[in-house]
Structure 1
């Protein structure tokens, strides 16, 4: 159980750090050339590929069993930490309110990003299903 929680936290930290870097590049350089929606559509595949391989690495390194409950817990912990981190950035760095953060999901680029975050949260369970099926 401890390894599952560790894996979720490390998964969040890795993806959050990569997202912070790519998000800064997207915001400062790409958006002005392509617009916000296209910029997000360019960034997301890079983020999801990184998340997929980081998830594989962590589940192997920390020996996370392929059962659905542990894998869903890992993804849930990572997703909850990710949302918490994004809310903190919105409130502390952008001088907004928590409600303002949730109102930004009115924008199509943020809805697309949320879909990618949900996929990120499901990667441990998807990979675990594949491993369990391969072991049968």
Structure 2
């Protein structure tokens, strides 16, 4: 179980760092020209593609069993850390309130982003199914 938790935390850290960089590029370069929804739709495939391969790397590196329960735990750990990290960035770096952070999910671009984050959380589980199908 320790490997599952390590993989989940590292999965979060890697994707959070990438998201921080891509988010800055999106906000400063894409949003002014395309608007927030289109900018998120441009960014999302890149971050999901990198997340997929980074997840595969971590599950192999830490030999996370292909059991659905353990893969789901890895994804839930990563997703929980991601939500906490985003809330902390919103509250401390953007000097907002937690209620302001939660209210941002009313915006379409943030709902699209949340859907991407849920996909990110499901990647470990989806890869276990993909691996089991390929092994048959």
Query: Shorter-chain TM-score: which interval?
Result: over 0.9
The TM-score, its normalising length taken from structure 1, stands at 0.98
2-side partners of 1:35 and 1:131: how far apart? Answer: 38
Q: In the TM superposition, what are the counterparts of 1:46-57 in structure 2 within 5 Å?
A: 46-57=46-57
**How far 1:135 moved relative to its partner?**
3.1
2-side partners of 1:84 and 1:28: how far apart? Answer: 24
2-side partners of 1:4 and 1:132: how far apart? Answer: 18
Q: Across the two proteins, how many residue pairs are aligned to each other?
A: 136
**How far 1:131 moved relative to its partner?**
1.4
Which residue does the alignment assign to 1:135? 135
The TM-score, its normalising length taken from structure 2, stands at 0.98
SS of the residue 1:85 aligns to: helix
Report Cα offsets for 1:51-87 as digits up to 9, x if no partner: 0000000001111111100000000000000000000
**How far 1:99 moved relative to its partner?**
1.1
Which residue does the alignment assign to 1:68? 68
1-side partners of 2:30 and 2:93: how far apart? Answer: 21
8 Å Cα contact 1:67-1:132 kept in structure 2:
no
In structure 1, runs of 5+ residues without a counterpart are: none
In structure 2, runs of 5+ residues without a counterpart are: none
* 2:111 maps to 1:111: yes
Report Cα offsets for 1:102-134 as digits up to 9, x if no partner: 100110000000000000000000001111233
Which residue does the alignment assign to 1:44? 44
2-side partners of 1:30 and 1:105: how far apart? Answer: 20
